[in-house]
């Protein structure tokens, strides 16, 4: 059985929905949980620690240990206090689940730069800020489990969510790099790309679909991703109890003669360039660059 006895976990955006389900399950499995939630509107306005306090009380009533925090992940000073309070109370941080999020959905033509900044500040910069704050603690202890929250919107696109999609794919880039940098410290970094019935999605789907997309049906995947035996560098897509790995892959490509290389040569070879019969998955940009170098040097077809 996966247990978290003695572990301390911070879960952002844990006042409801997915974050609440993560926090409650971690506590059931022995973790001490810091329940963070800014408590603002769906658009990120306002703020109250009430939601975080409610979930913390729920955990304590069930016999677990919890601490409530109302900081916004977009506020570096608030995040610093969150981490300082956690260390003062419990002396360690083993797990971070970056779950906090807001929405400012509009078509690209109608979206303001403020709508872009607000969403990036929470989803992308907020994830950076929280992760940066716990990273040295995990390095020093030689242990850490971090989950970022990506989205199918970032992986595949979604109408009216250019700001959100850009932030969510940015998170995948962060995972790919921190997987490499955290390896020698046993800091394992993964992402969840969930589809679930939360206040962010309840107005977008019919009731019968929402009933199948309960947060509790995503939660087991996240619990595994922060366990001692977790993988690292994975984007786990999850919904309705269905789990799959999402990857960024590249076609094998075509080595063109640089002596006659021009746009017309690319156009003439486009079918071969786009051939997906053999897709390649690289674990770093260095490996990708070496693939290009080897193909160019050997002039293989």
Annotated active-site residue 185? The verdict is no
- The per-residue pLDDT for 201 is 62
How far are the Cα atoms of 250, 266, 278, 281 from residue 273, in angstroms, in the given order?
10, 8, 11, 16
Residue 213 banded pLDDT, cuts 50, 70, 90:
confident
The string of pLDDT tens digits covering residues 130-155 is 999 999 999 999 999 999 999 999 99
Supply the pLDDT for residue 24.
98
**First CA to last CA across the chain, in angstroms?**
50
Query: To which H or E segment does residue 191 belong?
Result: strand 187-194
Q: What is the pLDDT of residue 40?
A: 59
pLDDT in tens, 104-130: 999 999 999 999 999 999 999 999 999
Which of the residues 164, 185, 217, 224 is marked catalytic? 164
Helix (H, G, I), strand (E, B) or coil at 44: coil
- Residue 250 has a pLDDT of 95
Q: What is the pLDDT of residues 161-206, one digit of tens each?
A: 999 999 999 999 999 999 999 999 999 999 999 987 665 666 666 6
Given a contact cutoff of 8 angstroms between Cβ atoms, the answer to whether 213 and 195 are in contact is yes
With vertex at residue 127, the alpha carbon angle to CA 125 and CA 130, rounded to the nearest 5 degrees, is 105
The predicted-structure confidence for 232-268, as pLDDT tens digits, reads as follows 999 999 888 889 899 999 999 999 999 999 999 999 9
Average pLDDT, rounded, for the chain: 92
Which tens digits make up the pLDDT trace of 27-86?
A: 999 999 999 999 856 665 656 799 999 999 999 999 999 999 999 999 999 999 999 999
Q: Looking at beta carbons, which pairs linking 291-299 to residues 24 or more positions away fall under 8 Å? A: 292/253, 295/253, 295/255, 296/255, 296/258, 298/255, 299/255, 299/257
Q: Do 212 and 240 form a contact (C-beta atoms < 8 A)? A: yes
């Amino acid at each position: 059985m996966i247990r978290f006895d003695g572990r301390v976990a911070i879960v952002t955006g844990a006042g409801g929905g997915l974050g609440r389900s993560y926090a409650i399950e971690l506590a059931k499995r022995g973790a001490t949980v810091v329940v963070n939630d800014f408590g603002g509107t769906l658009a990120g306005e306002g703020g109250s620690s009430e939601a975080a306090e409610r979930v913390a009380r729920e955990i304590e009533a069930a016999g677990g240990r919890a601490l409530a925090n109302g900081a916004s992940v977009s506020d570096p000073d608030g995040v610093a206090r969150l981490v300082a309070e956690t260390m003062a109370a419990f002396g360690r941080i083993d797990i971070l689940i970056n779950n906090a999020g807001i929405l400012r959905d509009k078509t690209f033509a109608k979206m303001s730069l403020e709508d872009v900044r607000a969403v990036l500040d929470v989803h992308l910069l907020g994830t950076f800020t929280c992760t940066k704050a716990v990273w040295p603690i995990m390095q020093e202890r030689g242990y850490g489990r971090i989950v970022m929250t990506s989205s199918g919107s970032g992986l595949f696109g979604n109408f009216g969510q250019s700001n959100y999609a850009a932030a969510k794919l940015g998170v995948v880039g962060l995972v790919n790099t921190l997987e490499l940098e955290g390896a020698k410290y046993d800091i394992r970094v993964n992402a969840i790309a969930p589809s679930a019935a939360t206040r962010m999605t309840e107005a977008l789907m019919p009731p019968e679909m929402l009933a199948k997309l309960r947060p509790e049906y995503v939660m087991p995947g996240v619990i595994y991703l922060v366990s001692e035996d977790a993988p690292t560098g994975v984007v786990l897509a999850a919904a309705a109890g269905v789990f799959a790995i999402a990857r960024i892959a590249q076609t094998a490509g075509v080595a063109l003669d640089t002596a006659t290389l021009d746009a017309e040569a690319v156009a003439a070879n486009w079918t071969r360039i786009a051939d997906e019969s053999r897709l390649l998955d690289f674990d770093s940009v260095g490996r990708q660059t070496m693939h290009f170098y080897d193909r160019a040097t050997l002039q293989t077809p």
